[in-house]
Amino acid sequence: MPLVTGARVRRLETNWSGLVTGAAYVDREGKEHFQKAAITVLAANGIGTPRLLLLSTSSRSPNGLANSSGLVGRRLMLHPFGTVVGLFDDDLGSTHGLWGQHTHSLQFYETDTSRGFARGAKWGLQPTGGPLSMTRGYPWGDNPIWGFKPSSTAGRFTGARLE
């Protein structure tokens, strides 16, 4: 099956035991299709995932898939996050103390169309631990984003179990 672009999933279909069998989607021309799947991974973030689960009603799940509690899509809290990394000529003491928010600014918090931005943002400045730390995964920890990290504690995958 080739990659389908411009598709929007409308609902997930399930079998008699409640397992997902595929997805009904609409293409760019508005025509509905069904893609059968042996395995389905639903990864549509904090809004898209509950939306799709709630749209996936059936006689077995009248309130939406995985929603027997009625809590799917409720109590949602999103924390949009973007990172910008900067290097400073002055020593800011970034290697001292715990990683945390050192400077907090609400200067850009409110919408100000005269200054060219909408919806605002809270800005925080945190130490990174230095230039080498910035090559690792957020928050500059043990998961490198560039290259391979050998580890003496890494297991060896053999068959169906990790040794």
pLDDT along the chain (163 residues), means of 10: 89 94 96 95 90 95 95 81 69 61 66 75 65 57 51 43 38
Instruction: Identify the pLDDT of residue 136.
Output: 60
* Residue 8 confidence (pLDDT): 94
Cα angle 40-45-1, degrees, rounded to a multiple of 5: 35
Segments in 6-144 forming alpha helices (H): 45-55
The pLDDT of residue 116 is: 74
Q: What is the structure's pLDDT at 67?
A: 95
Number of residues in the chain: 163
Q: What is the pLDDT of residue 93?
A: 66
Q: What is the pLDDT of residue 163?
A: 38
Q: Which pLDDT does position 96 carry in this prediction?
A: 61
Residue 96: DSSP 8-state: S
pLDDT at 33: 96
pLDDT at position 105 is: 67
Residue 33 to residue 24: CA distance in whole angstroms: 6
Cα-Cα-Cα-Cα dihedral sign, residues 11, 13, 14, 19: negative
